[in-house]
Structure 1
Amino acid sequence: MTNRFVEKLLNFGPLSDEERWVLLAATSDARKVIARKDLIREGDRPGPVFVILDGWACRYKILPNGSRQVLAYLMPGDCCDLHVGLLAEMDHSIQTVTAALVATIDRLEMDAIMDRHKGIAKAMYIAQLVDEGTMRAWITSMGRRSSIERVAHLMCELYLRARNIGLNVDPHVAFPLSQLMLADSLGMTPVHLNRVLKELRREGAMDMQRGRLLITDPGKLIHIAGFDANYLHRRLRSAA
């Protein structure tokens, strides 16, 4: 089975054969996790580095009134919280969205790997910078983009990320997120989100159907969102 974690890090720099073997060995003891299962919760002591090899997960916070804010999505190849072990407790929770294959790397082992293998360390730091750039893009959306711009921007991002790791069956990409979860990501009610999705469908920009996302007019969706993929270090291109 392809190790998407190794593939992702290879996008950020060359890895020697030894470094690839080290990463494969570190993630070889993966376990299957059911959907909607917390890997770690806010307030817990930080645990190992989680690596998502298959399936989707998310970071989230629960507010005192019981509402939820989704903070980020984790796709195959992503890892969680490289340096959070420096803190006394988790300030957010991580939960699987779908059934997932999750590897865990002990933090002392991860530190030793990065100390000994500079190629891995550099790739991991770049991956973390991309995560931070994504977080800044989400903050910008929540603070300054209109509802339709906010939805369009998230769809561009998720489509691009999913396509770039091979989750596409042209012209669709696998998209396991419910409207409720998307609403929790965007700071909107499900009713409001549903209206915006209908508007984007009427515009001929995109459509969501049965666990799939179809970008019918990438140029139009990019224009609506004002999307610039520089923070992902990838580019969303119109179909040729």
Structure 2
Amino acid sequence: MQVLALKENQDVVREGDRPSRSCLILSGFVCVYKITGEGKRQIVTFNIPGDIPDLQSLHLKVLDTSVGTITPCSVGFIPHEALHDICIRHPRIMSAFWRETLIDSAIFREWMTSMGRREAYGRIAHLLCEMLVRMKAVGLAEDLACNLPITQAEFGDALGLSTVHVNRILQELRANGLIELKGDRLNILDWDRLKEEGGFDPTYLHLEREREAS
């Protein structure tokens, strides 16, 4: 595995690429996104350390999305040849890879539900809940707090909202005593209410050892 240090706002792979390797996020945050014909970006997921955001390229030879860094990242590149060999020799690892892509699909379905059926306030509340639970699962959250280096513009690109609208909703969440957001540091002040406002049920994340914030 080749490990590279990447700067923020740098593409790891681009839509249309035919990669011969997949990327494992070792540190930092990345997003998977598409660009419309008018040049607008739609983020379809955020990825954190431990994720392999382009694992599907092991079987789908042409990428239909791009992967870009949000923060400086350390990324490990694993040749597809090595991954295929691992899958042949270790069926349990192959099953784990398959499960990973199925969970990615489940997250995408939940995001689509948010985009189509939740109001802006609920969309942001739901995404904050998701990110805390996912980061808690990999040891990157402490109780109800974590570093969340996602800008308001990136929230907007993920949720179909303008930056101004995102700012307004975050201010409302603060005013309602649900969250505290200082720089990149997110503190959730009322977990139960935030879950309720976002309609958040972590089942779709399929975290078998999940210890939900209390």
TM-score w.r.t. length of structure 2? 0.93
Matched-pair contact (CA < 8 Å) for 1:156–1:236:
no
- Is 1:133 matched with 2:106? yes
Q: Give 3-state SS (helix, strand or coil) of 2:85's partner.
A: helix
Tell me what 2:7 maps to: 34
Q: Give 3-state SS (helix, strand or coil) of 1:79's partner.
A: coil
Of 133, 151, 165, which residue of structure 1 is paired with 2:138? 165
Alignment partners' CA distance in 1, 2:50 and 2:86:
18
Instruction: Letter of the 2:205 partner, please give it.
Output: L
Matched-pair contact (CA < 8 Å) for 2:25–2:73:
yes
Alignment partners' CA distance in 2, 1:81 and 1:155:
23
**What is the percentage of aligned positions where both structures have the same residue?**
37
Matched-pair contact (CA < 8 Å) for 2:120–2:169:
yes
Q: Give 3-state SS (helix, strand or coil) of 1:237's partner.
A: coil
Tell me what 1:96 maps to: 69
Tell me what 1:221 maps to: 194
Tell me what 1:46 maps to: 19
Gaps of 5+ in 1: 1-26
Cα distance 1:30–1:166, how it changes in 2: closer, same or farther (>3 A)? same
Alignment partners' CA distance in 2, 1:165 and 1:89:
30
- Is 1:237 matched with 2:201? no
Matched-pair contact (CA < 8 Å) for 1:152–1:221:
yes
Gaps of 5+ in 2: none
RMSD: 1.6
Matched-pair contact (CA < 8 Å) for 2:22–2:55:
yes
Matched-pair contact (CA < 8 Å) for 1:218–1:237:
no
Tell me what 1:180 maps to: 153
Cα distance 1:130–1:179, how it changes in 2: closer, same or farther (>3 A)? same
Cα distance 1:124–1:86, how it changes in 2: closer, same or farther (>3 A)? closer
Deviates more, 1:69-78 or 1:159-168: 159-168
Task: Give, in angstroms, the shift of residue 170 of structure 1.
Answer: 4.9
Alignment partners' CA distance in 2, 1:135 and 1:83:
14
Task: Give, in angstroms, the shift of residue 41 of structure 1.
Answer: 0.9
- Is 1:195 matched with 2:159? no
Number of residue pairs the alignment of both structures matches? 212
Deviates more, 1:188-197 or 1:203-212: 203-212
Alignment partners' CA distance in 1, 2:8 and 2:153:
15
Task: Give, in angstroms, the shift of residue 171 of structure 1.
Answer: 4.5
